């Protein structure tokens, strides 16, 4: 990418982030004025407790979409990883230090399977991950016997706020994961290859990039992060539920698209996805304070996704009109 093009891309990202920050601030102001006790320590604690899993999954989804793909299986992968985590801790009496890596590995293997189907069998990512969604959800029911496993206090230290910071380790772990993915996609050769594959896979192939390996790698990354999200969520609720993670994929895609990552691939950032998570989490918390029903929450979230996609489409059409794309 030439220097002027890179500057233009950086300026567009900065402008998009500024708009998102303003939108988030407006949301907070609206809910503060209309919902009783919205601006309270309890609301902040709820947001801090519930967002780590979504942050981690959104980071992985950012990498997948940046490469021109999609991952619809992350919610079910998280449920399967949580089920295996529960079995390892409760039935096999594994220590936490062994059970947690196992859960993350289960997610990575599920991501590897999705990537292999996408690259090896040339199944579109949408269909391959849709199939994995059902496979992993069914596997989660099988391994848990369709029952929730209560873990006692095995993972409680991860969810208990640290006295020095007032924040639980789950949010710190999520922050480290997001920063690691950010560095991967912005400061490494792999990240440049990922953007090239998402922008124009044929040109990337002609440039000598192993497109298949890049796509498989991001699916493995997304699966592993879904496994990590399962650990963080399980630590918060103290149980492994085979029904966990339902709708997580849509929330993550919404956060990533609202955050400015293009569904066409090749452009986006983890910073934008973090802002997208903030918008989604604030929307959910604010609507809950207003007593909105689940259907209303889904309608509002869906409208936000449509608005974000429309904005992305208009921006890309404008760039094409200016001869930038």
Reading the block at residue 107, the tokens are: 């997610």
Reading the block at residue 88, the tokens are: 């390892």
- The C-alpha atoms of residue 119 and residue 115 are separated, in whole angstroms, by 6
Q: Which residue has the higher pLDDT, 163 or 221?
A: 221
Indicate the pLDDT class of residue 165, thresholds 50, 70 and 90: confident
Average pLDDT, the chain: 87
Query: Looking at the predicted structure, is the pLDDT value of residue 54 above 90?
Result: yes
Residue 24 has what pLDDT?
A: 87
Strand 239-240 relative to strand 149-150, pairing: antiparallel
**Spatial CB neighbours of 190, under 8 Å, sequence gap ≥ 6:** 184, 214, 217
Residue 177 has what pLDDT?
A: 97
Which own/partner contact pairs does 177-183 have at CB distance under 8 Å and 24+ positions apart?
177/55, 177/56, 177/59, 177/225, 177/228, 178/55, 178/56, 178/59, 178/270, 178/273, 178/274, 179/270, 181/59, 181/60, 181/62, 181/63, 181/221, 181/225, 181/270, 182/59, 182/269, 182/270, 182/271
pTM (2 d.p.): 0.89
CA angle 107, 126, 191 (to 5 degrees): 65
How confident is the model over 56-96, as pLDDT tens digits? 999 999 999 999 999 999 999 999 999 999 999 999 999 99
23, with CB counted inside 10 A (0-12, 13-18, 19+), is middle
How confident is the model over 199-246, as pLDDT tens digits? 899 999 999 999 999 999 999 999 999 999 999 999 988 888 888 888
Indicate the pLDDT class of residue 31, thresholds 50, 70 and 90: confident
Residue 5 has what pLDDT?
A: 59
- The C-alpha atoms of residue 92 and residue 151 are separated, in whole angstroms, by 12
Indicate the pLDDT class of residue 320, thresholds 50, 70 and 90: low
Query: Looking at the predicted structure, is the pLDDT value of residue 276 above 80?
Result: yes
Q: What is the CA radius of gyration of the chain?
A: 20
Indicate the pLDDT class of residue 153, thresholds 50, 70 and 90: confident
Residue 325 has what pLDDT?
A: 47
Residue 234 has what pLDDT?
A: 93
Query: Looking at the predicted structure, is the pLDDT value of residue 323 above 60?
Result: no
Query: Around Cβ 50, how many Cβ atoms within 10 Å?
Result: 17
Q: Please list the residues that pair with 239 across neighbouring strands.
A: 150
Packing angle of the helix pair 169-187, 270-289 (nearest 10 deg): 140
**Spatial CB neighbours of 169, under 8 Å, sequence gap ≥ 6:** 157, 158, 159, 160, 162
**What is the mean pLDDT of the segment spanning 292-296?**
83
Among 4-8, 169-173, 225-229, the least confident range:
4-8
């Amino acid at each position: 990418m030439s220097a002027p093009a890179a500057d233009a891309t950086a300026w567009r990202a900065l402008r998009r982030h500024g708009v998102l920050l303003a939108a988030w601030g407006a949301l907070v102001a609206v809910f503060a004025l209309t919902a009783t006790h919205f601006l309270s320590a309890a609301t902040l604690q709820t947001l801090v407790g519930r967002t780590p899993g979504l942050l981690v999954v959104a980071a992985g989804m950012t990498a997948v979409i940046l490469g021109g793909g999609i991952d619809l299986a992350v919610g079910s992968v998280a449920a399967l990883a949580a089920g295996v985590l529960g079995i390892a801790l409760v039935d096999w009496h594994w220590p936490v230090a062994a059970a947690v890596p196992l859960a993350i590995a289960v997610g990575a293997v599920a991501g590897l399977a999705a990537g292999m189907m996408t690259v090896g069998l040339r199944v579109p990512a949408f269909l391959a991950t849709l199939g994995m969604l059902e496979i992993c959800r069914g596997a989660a029911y099988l391994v848990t016997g369709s029952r929730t496993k209560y873990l006692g206090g095995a993972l409680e230290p991860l969810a208990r706020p640290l006295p020095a910071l007032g924040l639980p380790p789950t949010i710190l772990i999520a922050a480290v994961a997001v920063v690691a993915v950010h560095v991967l996609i912005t400061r490494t050769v792999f990240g440049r290859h990922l953007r090239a594959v998402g922008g124009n896979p044929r040109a990337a192939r002609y440039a000598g990039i192993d497109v298949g390996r890049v796509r498989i790698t991001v699916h493995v990354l997304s699966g592993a992060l879904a496994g990590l999200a399962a650990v963080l969520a399980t630590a918060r609720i103290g149980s492994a539920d085979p029904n966990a993670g339902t709708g997580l994929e849509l929330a993550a895609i919404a956060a990533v698209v609202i955050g400015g990552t293009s569904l066409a691939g090749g452009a986006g950032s983890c910073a934008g996805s973090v802002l997208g998570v903030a918008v989604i989490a604030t929307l959910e918390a604010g609507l809950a304070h207003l007593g909105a029903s689940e259907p209303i929450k889904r309608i509002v979230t869906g409208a936000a996704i449509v608005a974000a996609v429309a904005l992305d489409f208009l921006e890309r059409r404008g760039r094409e009109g200016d001869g930038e794309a």
